[in-house]
Structure 1
Amino acid sequence: MIAYGCLGILFLFIIIKIAVYFNRQKHAPTHEDLDETLLAIANRRRDDAS
């Protein structure tokens, strides 16, 4: 009986992890967003060094 309880908890844990993974995948930044962010960081560092 304890084994079934452990399996049930494990199953719920896996379902939650899969849901979180797909939720993060939907909200991933696009390549253009990443490029803009990297350019902003590079420009900020160049301005700070001057």
Structure 2
Amino acid sequence: MQLSKEEVYDYMFATYEKSSTIGINYGYQRFEKLLAPFGLSGRVPEVVKRILMN
């Protein structure tokens, strides 16, 4: 059985996500951690953090 490119990419991303966000279950921190290696993360203002966490 051979996987399609999309299935391979899905598997690669799922593996990356599991290994890079250990201990971070939800919220903006999870996305910041995932985006950082690609130079796409940034500072989240305190007011946005409070809104997202509530």
Fold-level match, TM-score > 0.5?
Answer: no
- Compute the TM-score of the two structures, normalised by the length of structure 1: 0.37
- Compute the TM-score of the two structures, normalised by the length of structure 2: 0.35
- The structure carrying a bigger helix percent of its residues is 1
Which of these two proteins has the greater Rg computed from alpha carbons? 1
Q: Which structure exhibits the higher relative contact order, with contacts defined as CA atoms closer than 8 Å and separated by 6 or more residues?
A: 2
